[in-house]
Amino acid sequence: MEYEVDFIENYPPYKPAKDEEYMSPEMLEHFKNKLLAWKEQLLAEANSTVNHLQSDSETPADPSDRASQEEEFALELRTRDRERKLIAKIDKSLRTIESGEYGYCKMSGEEIGLPRMEARPTADLTVEMKRKQEIREKQGVA
């Protein structure tokens, strides 16, 4: 999702101190702040969409204009639905920070790794486990 990439790239990455323990309190605080800022941005976008849909709800008389408007609204609503699901993932990640499980693979228990967590702060699988999951899904084994 382009919106996700833009946010992640513009948020400053965590610079661990020399010999800093993985998912130290400082690192966890960084990710908590990053996730909260991301969630706040997504909620602001959702509010903006609601305002836009309400202010532009007048139906154009021209059928082609009406079709364009409906397509635009449908696209916005699909985007917001994806973002709603992303907010749920962010909330789940925030809960794993509180429980002490953040940054660790839910399948293998291994460290997911700082670079992957910076790129995808809602990740709950290592790259290897994610790849295996996707293979199983393609085979219909899920």
pLDDT of residue 52: 60
CATH number of 2-9+21-138: 1.20.120.910
- Please tell me the number of Cα atoms within 13 Å of 123 on its side-chain side: 24
How far is the C-alpha of 40 from the C-alpha of 97, rounded, in Å?
Answer: 18
Using one digit for the tens of pLDDT, what is the confidence trace for 55-72? Answer: 666 766 777 777 777 777
Is residue 23 left, alpha or beta, with left meaning phi > 0 and alpha meaning psi from -120 to 50? Answer: left
Indicate the average pLDDT of the chain.
Answer: 86
Is pTM beyond 0.75? Reply is yes
Which range has the worst mean pLDDT, 48-52, 124-128, 135-139? 48-52
Which range has the worst mean pLDDT, 32-36, 59-63, 92-96? 59-63
- Find the angle CA(119)-CA(7)-CA(17) to the nearest 5 degrees: 50
Contacts of 125 (CB under 8 A, 6+ apart): 105, 106, 107, 112, 133
Using one digit for the tens of pLDDT, what is the confidence trace for 66-89? Answer: 777 777 777 877 877 888 899 999
Q: Is the pLDDT of residue 141 over 70?
A: no
Query: How many of the other CB atoms lie within 10 Å of CB of 124?
Result: 19
- Domain-by-domain residue ranges, the chain? 2-9+21-138
How far is the C-alpha of 49 from the C-alpha of 44, rounded, in Å?
Answer: 9
pLDDT of residue 6: 59
pLDDT of residue 50: 65
Average pLDDT of span 34-45: 91
How far is the C-alpha of 97 from the C-alpha of 29, rounded, in Å?
Answer: 9
Confidence of residue 2 (pLDDT cuts 50, 70, 90): very low
